[in-house]
Structure 1
């Protein structure tokens, strides 16, 4: 066997079109269900469009070019990314409009983006929140004879990045104006760091302040484009941001851009709970997102009654926001795709390559059985895989999707 063939054979999650999950795939494997995936992409695109906004899904969630392509083909305005390296990877796979939702620091990162900007078809915007960064970006891109689009990041006290006061935002706009190599193209915020009993009112107040700042900056002539970008929204509170932007964007002065990312795969944990809250707030939304992502693994050992060890661990699935959720049991090699419900079973701990699972009364497991698991926080499940298996309703692989983390 040649080394190339051998590597393909042993690649974690490797699959070919037509392979069947119960017979042909080396487990554990990252699984995406096509029907749910297509529903989610269409659902969010329609929601954002109906809200009078544009969608720039956060690509860091999946870093899967095949998903980028589907999101853009469905109508996404562009992609959001977190780093210069992620931006380069997306560009290599055909993405030509990017919001980088972070400050760009470090000259190697600046050089990487400057190289991409030699392509006149590439549109790029990054965030700034400090005058030192503004000065460094201005000097670097001036030395390269390039113009960099920047957006002011506005944050909250105790949150993540961003100017903490409206006065800081206005002062930073003046610092940008003094840099000929920089163009101020919008303002950005992230509401996902607002928590507590009064999160909803806090998020609405934050969105109102964000729009108010955009109005002040536009009235001051601070923006370099006629229709500046105003953007926020993660995957939990996008409905509140959409409502605030739609209500306050008087006369369409701004291009409103929403940036949820985890919706594409959704989950069985934190985003499932967040989606339930969205549907409670929005009675006009009759159906929400569907969990499309699972990780499938074998029963490894049954060392004690009522206790199973699964060949699934921290190297395979997220565990930062809740442990994997047992969904169904399947018999390997079987033609039955219905599976046995495992609602009474529970993962109690995960190690590097093992999960501990209590087995509910009435569930009979055998070593080698296949179990599907739901996850919480898809971002930190995707990043553990080089390949995802897109499967149809018959559990046959229709596409092997490579990631580019």
Structure 2
């Protein structure tokens, strides 16, 4: 991998440079080798967040399988594995393919997979010792898995491991009640080439704690229901957990400790944010268990101040997430390098390449830089191919590469 003219934010109009050479030189992002806008990751925050979540899971008796789709950055995924992650989670077979090529031995696909091409690949991978799991919520999903194993040529030992998924009304995938879950589980247990490994659910779309707790109670009850039918292995996998309610997951499923492998899948915790998750992190409710720190920031330049109370920054939807809240102005860096507070700035909207800033207090001039915090990291990383990792002086110490 080299950094060249294709790497947004890096200024390499001629030739190419290896990330290792950039890291060894430790350049400042303000030193001329970068241009704006520029997404960076703060190393100290990343390291602290990874350590916090690893310790949280150990303390509560959960295995961690963080959702890789947040970053799809090998450097961060490898750091999470080194910190003790049991597996990594993905959303699609393509993401699972990336992780297998990166050498990740165990992957959860937290989604239904019915594509026979992908299913045959999963079956063949199992014969080579690669451990992957998919979710099923229908008889059709079980049948597709069984058919793929039969036609894969994987031979003896070829298997597709499945978790029966419990959902909720108004949610996305997942069976809607325990009777249906038992029906799908029995089909999986009886299908040749299919191995029923446990159950899974996702509580992140539920709006309040009472709804989350009720859902997790039902997920825990599903284990008893399937055990009564002799459908589960001795230590079934029970997987759940977004990044907004993982404290309720560890509480709601905690009664299964010792009789099941409990798996938490929270992915956004690796970078946290300055918007959606800052307000919704479980560590707001249980601060003694945390904290997490925002690790992502975008620096953008003020390119126009066309009228009083309005400034335009050269950053837009191509650069920053906007689906779960707009970027948050955090700091102003003047042309001479002086820092100023950004409390009088508000982002009101984004175009493809322009950010509208309401200037309620203070002033901005063309050429000023604004540091923005972001909301929702899952739609930030996919906009950048190469991302500098910086120390607290904004000197580059590493470069992440993303695979989206």
TM norm structure 1: 0.92
Structure 2 CA distance for aligned equivalents of residues 124 and 269 of structure 1 = 33
In structure 2, do the counterparts of structure 1 residues 109 and 33 end up closer, same or farther at CA, with 3 Å as the change threshold? same
What does residue 269 of structure 1 align with?
275
Contact 1:88 1:112 in 2 (8 A): no
Q: After superposition, where does 1:330-349 map in structure 2 within 5 Å?
A: 330-331=333-334, 334=337, 339-349=339-349
Aligned-pair CA distance for 1:371: 1.3
Aligned partner of 1:380 in structure 2 is: 379
Deviation for aligned residue 1:220: 2.1
Out of 13, 26, 38, which is 2:9 matched to?
13
Answer whether contact 1:13 1:389 (CA < 8 A) is retained: no
Q: Cα RMSD (Å) of the superposition?
A: 1.7
Q: Is the 8 A contact 2:63 2:85 kept in 1?
A: yes
- Secondary structure at 1:340's aligned position in 2? strand
Preserved contact between residue 109 and residue 134 of structure 2 (Cα < 8 Å) = yes
- For residues 352 and 86 of structure 1, the distance between their equivalents in structure 2, rounded to whole angstroms, comes to 27
* Structure 2 residue runs without a partner (length 5+): 11-18
Is the Cα contact below 8 Å between 2:127 and 2:159 reproduced in 1?
A: no
Deviations 1:156-215 (A, max 9, x none): 0111100101000111111112211000001000011211xxx21221121111111112
Structure 2 counterparts to residues 222-261 of structure 1, below 5 A: 222-223=231-232, 225-246=233-254, 248-249=255-256, 252-261=258-267
Q: CA deviation at 1:308?
A: 1.1
The answer to whether residue 198 in structure 2 is matched with residue 186 in structure 1 is yes
CA distance in 1 between counterparts of 2:301 and 2:320 reads: 14
Alignment match, 1:397: 396
Contact persistence 2:123–2:148 (CA under 8 A): no
Q: 2:292 aligns with which of 285, 289, 292?
A: 289
What is the SS of the residue equivalent to 2:204?
A: helix
2:116 is aligned with 1:110? no
Q: Contact 1:344–1:359 (CA<8 Å) still a contact in 2?
A: yes
Corresponding residue of 2:13: none
Structure 2 residue 155 is the aligned partner of structure 1 residue 159: no
Matches within 5 A, 1:127-142: 127-142=135-150
Ranges in structure 1 where 5+ consecutive residues have no aligned partner: none
CA–CA distance in structure 1, aligned partners of residues 285 and 39 of structure 2: 32
TM-aligned CA deviation for residue 99 of structure 1: 0.6
Match of 1:100 in 2: 109
Give the secondary-structure state (helix, strand or coil) at the position aligned to 2:277: helix
1:280 CA drift (Å): 4.6
Residue pair 1:13, 1:386 contacting (<8 A) in 2 also: no
C-alpha separation in 2, matches of 1:307 and 1:64: 36
Looking at structure 2, the residues matched to 347 and 202 of structure 1 have their Cα atoms a distance apart, in angstroms, of 33
Aligned residues: 387
CA distance, structure 2, for counterparts of residue 230 and residue 274 of structure 1: 23
> Residues 61 and 378 of structure 1 are in contact (CA less than 8 Å); yes or no, is this contact kept in structure 2?
yes
Q: Is the 8 A contact 1:13 1:29 kept in 2?
A: yes
Kindly report which structure 2 residues correspond to 1:352-367, keeping only aligned pairs within 5 A, or say none: 352-363=352-363, 365-367=364-366
2:98 to 82, 85, 89: 89
Describe the SS at the equivalent of 1:318. coil
1:46-81 alpha-carbon deviations (Å, 9 max, x no partner) = 111101111100011111111000000011111010
Q: Is 12-21 or 140-149 further displaced after alignment?
A: 12-21
Q: Secondary structure at the match of 1:125?
A: strand
SS in 1 for 2:360: coil
| Cα shift at 1:114 | 3.5
Task: Say if 2:301 is the partner of 1:298.
Answer: yes
Which residue number corresponds to residue 320 of structure 2? 317
Deviations 1:96-117 (A, max 9, x none): 1111000112122223433433
